[in-house]
Amino acid sequence: MPQALGFDPDKYIELQSKHIQERREEIGGKLYLEMGGKLFDDMHASRVLPGFTPDNKIAMLDRIKDDVEILVCIGAKDLERKKVRADLGIGYGDDLLRLIDAFRERGFLTEHVVITQFDEGSAEVVEFAEKLTHLGLKVSRHYVIDGYPGNIDTIVSEEGFGKNEFVETSRDLVVVTAPGPGSGKLATCLSQVYQENQRGRKAGYAKFETFPIWNLPLDHPVNLAYEAATVDLDDVNVIDHFHLSAYGESTVNYNRDVEAFPLLKGMLQKVTGNTPYQSPTDMGVNMAGYCITDDEVCRAAATQEIIRRYYKALVDEARAATEDTTVSDRAAVIMTKAGCVPSDRTVVAPALRIEEETGLPGAAMQLHDGTIITGKTIDLLGCSAGMLLNALKYLAGIDPEAHLLSPESIEPIQTLKTRHLGSRNPRLHTDEVLIALSVSAATSEEARLALAQLQNLQGCDVHTSTILGSVDEGIFRNLGMQATSEPKFWKKQLYQKR
């Protein structure tokens, strides 16, 4: 049974590209379009709006590719902190390079990088800038501005935006994106608009922000899921009172944009000589709300995302071994707003039941037809690997008692792990099981049939009764599965291997 869809991606591409073109005509010059969220692989949007593909935004820009130039920002502080993209497990620096490769592969002009809040005294940041230059990229440095964002007179001056290195773009639509939030996209856009106007070139600013969706209710699960996704940033959805006052229409935005709007409006007035926007909602070009085809499907998907984010917060706190529960407490409040509880995640109870019955970690998965598949920890396999094999057998119509991998084929792998590779855990992880299954497929029809079902696991929910190791976590992520865990380790020890 295919996954239920609630969003029309083709309609989204059509409406969104049309709206961007209309905004360009309104600006009448070069448009710097801040891209909120992920441009190339928006996994969050694809989870809460089933039907939205992770590359929907870039597919939309494909329509106007010849007019588009992509400028990528990265924050110096994120480089210094070695910040990691949680959904991909890679650092922001590596993700910047990955994004540029992905944009170029699709034919987008991408040659400029801006390092925001650049610090000449940071050897790590200077070294990264030199690396980018060595790779043939054009690097611009934007600096910390005293009084930002409150002191408009200083910001919009040669001592503010004027001291930043100007990015000499060549296209009329410049999409400004970044590996993640807090990278300085807005400041980069405004700095560029200032310097363009100083050079006698007309330029303006707009924001492409998918969430919160302005024409959905404040407490709609899709909007609450955005709060859950940014719970570590303390973002909160609010009614855009500027829009309500100007137009008598109630719309949703988030607190940081609403709070910053008076300053942003003042900056744009000082930079360009006019104020094109009366509200934060005015700044946006977001047609996602018009492309929802099944509200109930999106509500259900977003509710599951809210619960997943709660579990993620709990696991992050457990891994950090901290008593600070601020993030998980906020996530719990959002669950209350959405009217859901952890047990509404169907795979939780079966996974916990396996552990209760066996005294060892358990795992459970829900397939798209609603079937629950479980896995338990045995001498040969971890619970995640056992569950994965059980799911593939079910989907391929193979006898559940059949051995896709014989004990004889598993034993040499265990010997390799424990005697030669230094592992103390002889049980096979999900990656090892899949490799062994691939080898077996050369001679086994059942193994070939099982492997062919991997594509049908995308979007399936998984829960484990203990925290996943990095290997199993990565395999589930690569297969497109939505995994959560109870916030406890299997074994109590000071060092926990990821």
- The one-character DSSP state at 423 is -
Q: Whose structure tokens read 């829900």?
A: 366
- The strand pairing partners of 381, in sequence order, are 428
Q: From CA 78, how far away is CA 241, in angstroms rounded?
A: 33
Q: Where are the domains of the chain?
A: 9-291, 346-498
Phi, psi of 215 (to 5 degrees): -105, 20
State the helix-helix crossing angle for 326-338 and 221-229, rounded to 10 degrees. 180
Cα–chain center distance at 380 = 35
Task: Reply yes or no: is the peptide bond before residue 212 cis, omega within 30 of 0.
Answer: yes
Q: From CA 91, how far away is CA 81, in angstroms rounded?
A: 10
Closest residue by Cα to residue 251 from 264, 259, 262, 241 = 241
Architecture (CATH level 2) of domain 9-291: Roll (3.10)
Query: What string of DSSP letters covers 117-130?
Result: T--TT-HHHHHHHH
Q: What is the pLDDT of residue 195?
A: 95
Phi, psi of 380 (to 5 degrees): -90, -30
Phi, psi of 133 (to 5 degrees): -60, -40
Q: From CA 433, how far away is CA 431, in angstroms rounded?
A: 5
Phi, psi of 469 (to 5 degrees): -75, 165
Q: What is the pLDDT of residue 443?
A: 86
Cα 156–Cα 158–Cα 162 angle in degrees, nearest 5: 80
Distances (CA, A) of 99 to 74, 84, 92, 224: 12, 14, 10, 28
Q: What is the pLDDT of residue 404?
A: 84
CA dihedral (312, 314, 318, 320) positive or negative: positive
Please say whether the beta carbons of 69 and 171 come within 8 A.
yes
Q: What is the pLDDT of residue 38?
A: 77
Phi, psi of 71 (to 5 degrees): -115, 125
Cα 58–Cα 62–Cα 68 angle in degrees, nearest 5: 90
* Per-residue pLDDT of the chain in tens (498 residues, 90 and over written 9): 567 899 999 999 999 989 999 998 988 889 999 987 777 778 899 999 999 998 888 888 888 899 999 999 999 999 998 888 766 778 899 999 999 999 999 999 999 999 999 988 888 999 999 999 999 999 999 999 988 888 899 999 999 999 999 999 999 999 999 998 788 999 999 999 999 999 999 999 999 888 999 999 999 999 999 999 988 877 899 999 999 999 999 999 989 889 889 888 988 888 888 878 999 999 988 999 999 999 999 999 999 999 999 999 999 999 988 889 999 999 999 999 999 999 999 999 999 999 999 999 999 999 999 999 999 999 888 999 999 999 999 999 999 988 887 777 777 777 777 676 667 676 788 988 898 898 888 888 999 999 999 999 999 999 999 999 988 999 999 999 999 999 999 866 533 455
**What's the predicted TM-score (pTM) here?**
0.87
Give the class (CATH, top level) of 346-498: alpha beta
Q: From CA 54, how far away is CA 47, in angstroms rounded?
A: 9
Residue 492: partners with Cβ closer than 8 Å, 6 or more residues away: none
* DSSP strand pairing (173-177 vs 68-75): parallel
Q: What is the pLDDT of residue 193?
A: 94
Reading the block at residue 175, the tokens are 């999409």
